[in-house]
Structure 1
Amino acid sequence: MINIVAKITPKTALFAECKRKLQAIVAPTLAEVGCIRFELYTGDNQTCLFLVERFISQQALDEHYQQAYTKQVFTFYESALAKAVEINNLAEI
C-alpha cells in the first residue's frame, strides 16, 4: 500500500480556485482501479489543503499521475502555489 498526505499551499488569491480544482478530481480519482482513498481537507486557517491518499501500489499511483485531470492540476500548481507541495509518504505501523 502507498499512503500519502500531501500538503498544498496555494497563493492566497488562488486558494478557492485550487480547492475547486482538487474537489473536481476526487470522484474520478476514487473511480480509479488502484485508488482506495482520496480525500481533501483544509486546516482551520484556510491557507493549506491536504490530500489524504491511499493506492494499492506504486504502479496505481503512477497511473493516477498520468491521468489528464491529474496533469491539469499539476499544471495549475506551477503558477498557483506559494510553495512546493509537501509530500509525506506514510508507513503503516
Structure 2
Amino acid sequence: MEVSVSSAKQLGKLISAVRKSQRLDQKTIGEFSGNSINTVGDFEKGSGSLSVSRLFDLMESLGIEMKIDFALPPSDTSAQKKLIKRINEIVDHE
C-alpha cells in the first residue's frame, strides 16, 4: 500500500499503526531496529526525533519502504536529463 506522508508526526503515527498490525511492541521493534523503547515511543507520539539512519533502520524492521517524489526542472530538458541521469547513478550504485 502506498500513502503520502507530509510530517514526522504523521510518519510516527503510521509507524505505530504498522507495528501494531504486526503485533509487535515498542521494545521488540526497538531491539530489531537498534532503537530504545523510549525512542520508538516518543517518535510514534510525535514528541521525539530520530536520525535519518535510525529512521531507516526502524522502517526496514517493519517492512516500510520510502519513495520520494520530486519535481523536475520545468521547461529545461537539458537540466531534466542531467538530474534524471544523476539520480539513476545514485540509486543504482549506492
Give the TM-score normalised by structure 2: 0.33
Larger fraction in helix: 2
Which structure has the higher relative contact order (CA within 8 Å, separation 6+)? 1
Give the TM-score normalised by structure 1: 0.33
Larger fraction in strand: 1
